[in-house]
Homo-oligomer: A and B are copies of this chain.
Amino acid sequence: MQSFNPPVRTLMGPGPSDVHPRVLQAMARPTIGHLDPAFIGMMEETKEALKYAFKTENELTMPVSAPGSAGMETCFANLVEPGDKVIVCINGVFGNRMKENITRFGGEAVVVEDKWGEAVSVDKVEQALKDNPDAKIVAFVHAETSTGAMSDAKAICALAAQHDCLNIVDTVTSLAGSELRVDEWGIDAIYSGTQKCLSAPPGISPISFSERAIQKLSNRNTPVTSWFLDLNLVMGYWGKGAKRAYHHTAPVNTLYGLHESLVMLTEEGLENAWARHSANHEDLKHNLEAMGMSFVVNEGDRLPQLNTVWIPEGIDDAAVRSRLLNEYNLEIGAGLGDLAGKVWRIGLMGYSARKENVVLATAALKEVLASQ
């Protein structure tokens, strides 16, 4: 058994995205204790920076010590009680995963379905709210990583509020890549990932809960099933003040990485980061369309950071991706579920959203397709 020296790739799939050398170097700094005063200071800065990234003043804003899937589970485990009716919008893999979470925690899922590649239909959500006056939560994915579709989070949250429902929003792929305003849009519970547009290594999930969400949590009749994700306990460690109670051992070095990526975000400015993702998307779109490729998602609903295009007819999906990886060290994403073998997902996330990557991906894809 020998040390593992990974190949140096350019990561233009659906995540993880390329991690900046500054962030990688931060990961290698000496590990210190999770109750060290110096570490607690860094935790405070991280929470503040996450508030900035989420555009929120929510006190309960913190990173969960596990990947985005655990961030999702944190929201559902804490907010769904047995018997709760939850309207869940499914237009891809991650809406389905939300539904799994709801039913496993004893909730009743009312499904609002849209075609993969389309945004969630706001009209259908409104109808479901009218049809289910006893619904307590509306859950949906802002940026569907399996298709590249963006939904109208602002409109859906407003509707949910009109019908006295909380909302749970998946922003794993949108945070720091597209416009996202937690307080202005009235988002109640939100989760994201570190390995997409923040370009920190995977393994952590930033979350934020509104006062309304905390109230629902405080008024539960049953304990949260998960001890590890029970925010009543987690907040003893991540909460306000210098006095922190041990709950679990935080992933110290991964948090160094997240902290550094947030330093870089504040240096660039959140709105500038959104604009950079859009600009690179425009360039890539122009290049791909010039090659005769077309997008799965309608123009107005596209995520700039995840470009999902139909694989040209007669082209072998796996062969192309494999050549890109082996010959150009370039990773692009395969399709998931119904879209497997039919689409490619080309990510422009975080540090990967750069001009040099746009031209690299275009040129490499052109060469490989020409010799298929």
Identify which of A116-124, A175-183, A221-229, A274-282 touches chain B.
Answer: A221-229
Indicate how many identical chains form the complex. Answer: 2
User: Knowing A66-B70, A68-B249 touch, does A6 contact B38 (C-beta < 8 A)?
Assistant: yes
B45 adjacent to A225 (CB under 8 Å): no
In the bound complex, residues from chain B placing their C-beta under 8 Å from that of A72 are 228
A-B contact pairs, 26 of them (CB 8 A): A1-B262, A2-B263, A4-B29, A4-B42, A6-B29, A6-B36, A6-B256, A7-B32, A11-B33, A13-B33, A16-B33, A19-B253, A25-B28, A27-B28, A31-B202, A65-B67, A66-B67, A67-B251, A69-B247, A100-B227, A104-B223, A104-B225, A201-B253, A203-B253, A226-B226, A253-B257
CA distance A29 to B226 in the complex (A): 33
A-to-B contact residues, CB < 8 Å: 1-9, 11, 13, 15-16, 18-19, 22, 24-34, 36-39, 42, 45, 48-49, 65-70, 72-73, 77, 97, 100-101, 104-105, 193, 195, 201-203, 223-228, 246-254, 256-257, 259-260, 262-263, 266, 325, 331, 336
Q: How far is the CB of A6 from chain B (nearest CB, A)?
A: 5
The answer for the CA separation of A31 and B4 in the assembled complex, in Å, is 12
Docked-complex contact A254 and B256, CB < 8 angstroms: no
> Roughly how many angstroms separate A175 CA and B53 CA in the complex, as a whole number?
39
- Cβ-defined partner of A65 (8 Å) among B27, B48, B97, B203: B203
Query: How close is A34's CB to chain B, nearest CB, in angstroms?
Result: 7
